[in-house]
Amino acid sequence: MSLIEKPNKHLIPSVNYHFWQPCNMRCKFCFATYHDVKKQLLPKGHLPKEKSLELIGLLADYGFKKITFVGGEPTLCYWLDELILYAKEKGLTTMIVTNGSNISAEKLIQWQGILDWITLSIDSLNDETNKLIGRKENNYTFQDVNRYRLLIEQIKNFNFRLKINTVVNKYNYKEIVSPFIKEVKPERWKIFKALRIEGQNDKYFSDVSITNEEFTHFLHINHTDVISQAVVEYNEDMRGSYVMIDPAGRFFDNTKGKHTYSSSILESDVEFALSQVSTNYTKFIERGGVYEW
């Protein structure tokens, strides 16, 4: 992966496209609920397929190199495969972030050759913890450790690159997942401190928030044996270091503790809309945003 020189040598080369608001889970710390977008702008919680395809084309033509399809839960979208295919045809590295509950062998077969990375959101291997977090569907947790093992085995057998995201919060900061991480060996393990975003997760955030000391406990006491292989993001690292797009097709940033949205990318253009949000290339580099993807 080489950093792009044009049109802006300080352009963050990866973009997170939260193209799909609906989710089958209700994690209390979720900072991508987009209830505001759904209520004010987009009753279905997503653009029509054709608009999303158009948007992907604009992003690729502008110079982005990698696109991450995020939700909500992206695998609930019937046309996700078409979005991934088009992004790949446009030369982008492709990734999805998923809770894993809706991935089948059939889906993995369909994604072969067009999807590069699968990021699984795994916060805990404990059923009760996942229920408390809200990482459950109709009170059933998907996160049985053996289910994860099987899913990861399939992901690897199909040669997808594997990343794991873990959000550390009040319910899981005392847990230890080192043996699991050593066993499944993700290429990348990202550990986030739960981040409060007004309008997205402030309603339940007091239930899940932790102090920096509690976060440090998870990192350096419980996971000292694997922490050197992880990418860690404190709240400050997460602010302004990502290029993100909401389900309505607008860039947004979180530097003010809430989402600040640009105008519609489709109705203006990428450069103009991007100039309306705050992104920090240096912070992107410092949080390890550049790696062999």
Tell me if 247 contacts ligand SF4 by CB under 6 A. Answer: no
Least distance between ligand SF4 and beta carbon 147 (Å): 15
Tell me if 254 contacts ligand SF4 by CB under 6 A. Answer: no
27 is catalytic: yes
Catalytic residue among 30, 37, 232, 273: 30
Tell me if 116 contacts ligand SF4 by CB under 6 A. Answer: no
Angle between helices 80-89 and 49-62 (to 10 degrees): 20
Shortest CA distance to 163 belongs to which of 139, 137, 181? 181
- The beta strands (E) that lie in 222-278 are given as 230-233, 243-245, 250-253, 260-264
CA 237 to chain centre: 15
Shortest CA distance to 171 belongs to which of 131, 139, 118? 131
Catalytic residue among 11, 12, 25, 27: 27
Tell me if 241 contacts ligand SF4 by CB under 6 A. Answer: no
23 is catalytic: yes
30 is catalytic: yes
Token pair of 268, please?
A: 């203006």
Element of type H or E holding 127: helix 127-133
Nearer residue to ligand SF4 within complex by CB, 27 or 270: 27
Q: How far apart are CA 21 and CA 34, in angstroms?
A: 6
Per-residue binding string, ligand SF4, 53-92, x by CB under 6 A, is: ------------------xxx-------------------
Residues of the shown chain interacting with ligand SF4 in the complex, contacts defined by CB under 6 A: 23, 25-27, 30, 32, 71-73, 99, 121, 135
